C-alpha cells in the first residue's frame, strides 16, 4: 500500500481536498462510462493518481463512493418555483427545456447516466433515482398543478425522461442521439404537458377540467 509505485509527478497524493477531488472526478467518469459493476476502487485510484488506500480513507466502500459522486447537482428549492413560474399550459415546455438543459451539461449528464446505468443492477441506485427525482421533484411539481393522480403523472414524466436519456445516450438511437437540446426540448414538451395536465387515459374525455 505504499504510494510510491503509483504516484505520478504533480498528481495529488495526500489526504487533502485535491486528492478527494481527483478521486471523485475519476470515479464519476468511470461509473458514468461503465456503470456500477465495471470500475474497481484500484482502477479509480490509478486514474486519479493516488494510492488505493486514499479512496477508502475518503469515501469508504465502493457503494458509498458511487452514491457520493453521482449525487445530483440540482437544487430543487430553486428549480421547483422556477418551473411553476408561468401558466400551466407552458409547464411541459418549461420542464422539457430544463431536462434538455441538464443533459446538455456534461457533468450533470455524466452523473445522471451513471445513476441510470447503476440502477439497472443495483437497488440502491434505483432508490436514489426514485427518491431524488420522482419523489423529490416531479411529484411535488405535479401536485402543485392540482390535477388528479400526481404520483402517476410524476412517474409518467419520469418514464419519458428516462427513456429519452436511454435512447439518446445509452442505446444511441438516431436521429435522437445527434439531436440538439432545443430539438429534444421541443419533442418532449407536448408529451410532458400531456402527462402533467391532460386526462391521462385514452378513451376518456379529451380535456381535463381545471380545478
Contact set with its own copies (CB under 8 A) = 34-35, 37-38, 92-93, 96, 116-117, 119-121, 126, 129-130, 134, 151-152, 155-156, 158-164, 166-168, 170-176, 186-187, 189-191, 193-195, 198, 200-203
Which of 7, 34 has the CB closer to its own copies? 34
Q: Tell me how far apart the alpha carbons of residues 28 and 53 are, in angstroms, rounded to a whole number.
A: 18
Closer to its own copies by CB, 74 or 152: give it.
Answer: 152
At closest approach, how far in Å is the CB of 60 from its own copies?
A: 23
Q: Which residues contact 172 (CB under 8 A, 6 or more apart)?
A: none
CA–CA gap between residue 183 and residue 175 (Å, rounded): 11
Which residue shows C-alpha cell 430544463?
Answer: 98
Q: Is 49 left (phi over 0), alpha (psi -120 to 50) or beta?
A: left
CB 191 within 8 A of CB 159: no
CB of 138 to its own copies, least distance (A): 10
Nearest distance in Å: CB 194, its own copies:
7
- Min dist CB 168 to its own copies, Å, is 8
Beta strands in 38-138 (DSSP E): none
Between residues 13 and 134, which has the closer beta carbon with respect to its own copies?
Answer: 134
**How far is residue 59 CA from its own chain's centroid?**
21
| Residue 52 vs 92, nearer CB to its own copies | 92
- Nearer CB in complex with its own copies: 21/170: 170
Q: How far is the CB of 158 from its own copies (least distance, A)?
A: 6
136: helix, coil or strand?
A: helix
Amino acid at each position: 500500500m505504499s504510494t510510491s509505485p503509483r504516484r505520478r509527478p504533480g498528481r495529488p497524493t495526500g489526504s487533502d481536498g485535491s486528492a478527494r477531488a481527483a478521486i471523485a472526478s475519476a470515479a464519476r467518469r468511470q461509473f458514468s462510462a461503465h456503470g456500477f459493476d465495471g470500475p474497481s476502487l484500484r482502477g479509480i485510484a490509478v486514474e486519479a493518481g493516488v494510492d488505493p488506500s486514499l479512496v477508502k480513507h475518503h469515501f469508504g466502500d465502493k457503494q458509498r463512493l458511487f452514491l457520493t459522486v453521482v449525487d445530483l447537482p440540482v437544487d430543487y428549492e430553486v428549480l421547483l418555483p422556477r418551473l411553476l413560474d408561468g401558466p400551466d399550459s407552458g409547464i411541459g415546455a418549461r420542464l422539457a427545456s430544463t431536462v434538455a438543459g441538464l443533459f446538455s451539461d456534461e457533468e450533470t449528464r455524466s452523473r445522471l447516466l451513471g445513476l441510470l446505468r447503476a440502477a439497472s443492477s443495483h437497488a440502491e441506485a434505483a432508490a436514489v433515482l426514485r427518491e431524488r427525482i420522482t419523489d423529490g421533484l416531479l411529484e411535488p411539481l405535479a401536485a402543485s398543478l392540482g390535477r388528479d393522480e400526481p404520483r402517476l403523472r410524476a412517474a409518467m414524466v419520469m418514464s419519458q425522461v428516462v427513456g429519452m436519456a436511454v435512447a439518446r445516450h445509452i442505446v444511441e438511437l438516431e436521429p435522437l442521439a445527434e439531436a440538439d437540446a432545443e430539438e429534444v426540448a421541443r419533442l418532449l414538451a407536448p408529451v410532458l404537458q400531456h402527462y402533467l395536465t391532460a386526462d391521462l387515459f385514452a378513451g376518456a374525455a379529451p380535456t381535463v377540467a381545471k380545478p
